Amino acid sequence: MLPDNDKSSAKFTRLRREALELLSRQPGLVSSKSGANIKELIHELNVHQTELVIQNEELKQSQRDLAKISREYEDLYELAPCGYITLTAKQTISRINKAALSFLGEKELKLNLSTFGQFIEPGWDDFFHTALKNAAQTGNTQSIDLKLRNKAGLPLWIQMEIEADCDEKGQVLQWRLVFVDISQKIAAETALQESQERFKSLFHNAPIAYQSLDKDGNFIEVNDAWLSILGYARDEVIGQNFGNFLHPDMQDHFKKNFPRFKVVGEILGVEFEMCKKNGSNSIVSFHEKIGKKPNGEFKQTHCVFSDITEQKKAETSAKRLEAQLQQARKLEAIGVLAGGIAHDFNNILFPIMGFSELTLEELPENSPVRENVNAILTGAKRAAELVQQILAFSAPRQKSPEPIIVQSVFKEAISFLRAIIPQNIDIRQEISPTPICIMNDPTQLYEIVMNLCTNAYHAMEEEGGLLSIRVNEVEVGAGRINKGMEMTPGRYCRIDIHDTGSGIPAEHLDKIFDPYFSTKEIGKGSGIGLSVVHGIVKEHNGCIQVKSRPGKTEFTVYFPITDRIKKKDQIRQLFVKSIGNEKILFVDDETAIVEIVTQSLERLGYEVTGKTSSVEALNEFETHPDRFDLIITDMTMPGIIGTNLIKKIREIRPGIPVMLCTGYSHLADAETAKALNINEFIYKPVSINELSAKVRKIFDQTNEPQAINEPDNM
């Protein structure tokens, strides 16, 4: 740039040149006749005058340009979208544009009287004044975000730049403020932040586990549910590979299939077994999609999963229960079949036993035929007991415990076991020869022995081994009763059943007596045997213990010993006391049964009318209602069943004694008989001695006491 004197010299030179050029185009202004000096003076004056004219025109043009610029500046200042405010040194507003007034909600302000501070949100004053001070001290523009309140009291966020105009001494003459409204931006940022916070809260507090993986299968993020399910801290997971948290059997599966997933982009319901921090495992079900970058490249996975461990256990339990239900249905079907077989079989056994008893009564004591007839009678009784064991599963009925000799049941059970146990299993028995008597049901004791021994031989079925059975009497003192043994000191029958099989795993020992718990293969058992054994033992005040290790399992059962012994001649004595002369109507649809009962009771002095049709029996009673002293009827018969026959007979003659007997029927039992006020209820097959005793019992309860004479042939 030229110095100021140089600029003036250049300007004068320019004006002189332009004036001379202008005068040269107007020769009439200077007379050629004038003297040289006058000419020069006039010329000089003309030049100066011309210079003044030129300067005057330039001045007018400059004024016009300045006015234009001023108008443009005013337009720019007033119409600008940003706010302009000028503050005096005392921070009063000396100038403000329309945009600033609009932002502040003002139509006009009293300049030099109004302060900008009146619009600042309380708590932001110090921040604003610090910015003013920094602008004055540093001379640099200060940029700040400031929160205001407009005239209506509504919040206003602005972004402001502050400049200080100072004199040569650094004293502030004024401040210039330029600002724009960023309320929408702040609102958007606040909404975004709130949205992010809500998402973060939802993400971490969601009840379902979430995880995201990078392209290498490493964790980017997991939520609190994920951490809660698996028990880890977040810093133990982030950055680690997903495969490290899988069961070892599934790690290779993940490595092979993760690249395929990134190509497919979605998986639904895939199950993984994941390792918890405490060492246990959880089965989880995954639903996963991939997230992509704008260019379509893989970015990360988005995955949710739920812990289905309990669901899997429930499904397993449901399958087990379904199998148990199917087994129960099979047992129910077998029970129905067994009931039908039992009914027919008992009807067959009844006459066999009856005619055998009659034959024995007629044979001399030294007859060689007696042994054969006794064998027939024993076989029939064993068959009847077998039917009762079948019915014990198909239609259990309560029986009162009775004194039984334990050895007799074991003798029968071991004989049966030898027939079904494979030859590679030896049976060793150590049974006390001294009779041991306990209060029990022979069928239930037989069931205990068979269940325990069957379990034992199943454990040795493949490899073979030794089955040991011991029965003896022991004295159990208070010092020998261990924790968990619900026993009192006293004399006990101790039953030990040992095997040399594979043993029971320790984790199963406390479950083996649970209903339907079984570790056997399908077809090897239903899991109800040991629970039945446990129930029978507890019901009879006994105790059962089990010890097991590989190669040996020991079951020990204790039953209290009783001094009550059943007399051998009890049935014989009942037979002697069971004679009479009353009239009996006997009804059964089996001809053989009618014949044996009629013959047997008539031999005792009773007058018996036998009928094989319940309809004919009812007609007979209607014709002669006072002829009979007792009605004995079968339950299951064509025409009219036993209970209905009893009802019809008592409609004719209330109070007549009745006895109901059945081979098997789901329609009748002891409770039914009691509800119908039936005098006696018995199951077939029944010995003639027992039948005659019950007949006599009814008459003795309904008649006056009378002397009973022993028959001549007894």
Q: How confident is the model at residue 88 (pLDDT cuts 50, 70, 90)?
A: very high
Domain count, the chain: 5
Which is more confident, 680 or 335?
680
Alpha carbons 606 and 622: distance in angstroms, whole number: 21
Per the CB < 8 A criterion, the answer to whether 118 and 99 are in contact is no
Alpha carbons 353 and 376: distance in angstroms, whole number: 8
Which is more confident, 171 or 320?
171
The two tokens of residue 461 are 């079925």
Q: How confident is the model at residue 192 (pLDDT cuts 50, 70, 90)?
A: confident
Same domain, 213 and 145: no
- Name the nearest CA neighbour of 630 among 601, 663, 669, 656: 656
- The percentage of residues in the chain with a pLDDT greater than 90, rounded to a whole number, is 19
Instruction: Give domain status of residue 335, yes or no.
Output: no
pLDDT digits (tens, 9 = 90+) for 385-428: 667 666 655 555 555 677 888 888 888 788 778 777 888 889 89
Domain interval for residue 274: 197-307
Same domain, 89 and 170: yes
Query: What's the CA angle centered on 333, arms 327 and 336, to 5 degrees?
Result: 140
Same domain, 407 and 556: yes
- DSSP class of residue 172 equals E
> Which of 199-203, 211-215, 439-443, 480-484 has the lowest average pLDDT?
480-484
Domain at 474, CATH number: 3.30.565.10
Instruction: Give domain status of residue 471, yes or no.
Output: yes
Chain centre distance of CA 400: 43
Alpha carbons 582 and 579: distance in angstroms, whole number: 9
Same domain, 526 and 428: yes
- Name the nearest CA neighbour of 634 among 394, 340, 387, 343: 343
For position 23, what pLDDT does the model report?
61
Same domain, 23 and 134: no
Alpha carbons 228 and 351: distance in angstroms, whole number: 74
Instruction: Give domain status of residue 108, yes or no.
Output: yes
The two tokens of residue 688 are 């003639």
Domain at 259, CATH number: 3.30.450.20
Same domain, 205 and 288: yes
CA atoms within 13 A on the CB side of 562: 16
Instruction: Give domain status of residue 334, yes or no.
Output: no
CA atoms within 13 A on the CB side of 301: 29
Q: How confident is the model at residue 148 (pLDDT cuts 50, 70, 90)?
A: very high
Instruction: Give domain status of residue 363, yes or no.
Output: no
Instruction: Give domain status of residue 338, yes or no.
Output: no
Select from 243, 275, 307 the last residue of a domain.
307
For position 178, what pLDDT does the model report?
92
- Name the nearest CA neighbour of 186 among 146, 137, 221: 146
CA distances 474 to 199, 448, 490, 493, Å, are: 74, 19, 8, 6
Length of the chain: 714
SS3 at position 561: strand
Concatenated DSSP letters for 51-111? HHHHHHHHHHHHHHHHHHHHHHHHHHHHH-SSEEEEEETTSBEEEE-HHHHHHHT-S---T
Instruction: Give domain status of residue 192, yes or no.
Output: no
Same domain, 415 and 507: yes
Select from 516, 535, 560 the last residue of a domain.
560
Same domain, 546 and 407: yes
The two tokens of residue 711 are 């028959």
The two tokens of residue 179 are 């600002």
Pairing of strands 465-476, 425-431: parallel
Alpha carbons 533 and 509: distance in angstroms, whole number: 15
Select from 60, 77, 94 the last residue of a domain.
77
Same domain, 543 and 402: yes
Instruction: Give domain status of residue 393, yes or no.
Output: no
Q: How confident is the model at residue 141 (pLDDT cuts 50, 70, 90)?
A: very high
Surface-to-core class of residue 561, CB atoms within 10 Å of its CB (0-12 exposed, 13-18 middle, 19+ buried): middle
Query: What's the CA angle centered on 143, arms 137 and 149, to 5 degrees?
Result: 110
Alpha carbons 611 and 529: distance in angstroms, whole number: 44
Average pLDDT over residues 101-127: 87
**Cis ω before 248 (30° cut-off from 0):** no
Phi and psi of 191, rounded to 5°?
-60, -40
Alpha carbons 200 and 192: distance in angstroms, whole number: 12
Same domain, 452 and 523: yes
Same domain, 626 and 650: yes
SS3 at position 334: helix
Same domain, 408 and 542: yes
pLDDT digits (tens, 9 = 90+) for 628-659: 999 999 888 888 998 899 999 999 999 899 99
pLDDT digits (tens, 9 = 90+) for 213-270: 998 889 988 888 888 888 899 899 899 998 889 888 888 888 888 888 877 778 787 8
Name the average pLDDT for the chain.
Answer: 80
Average pLDDT over residues 118-136: 92
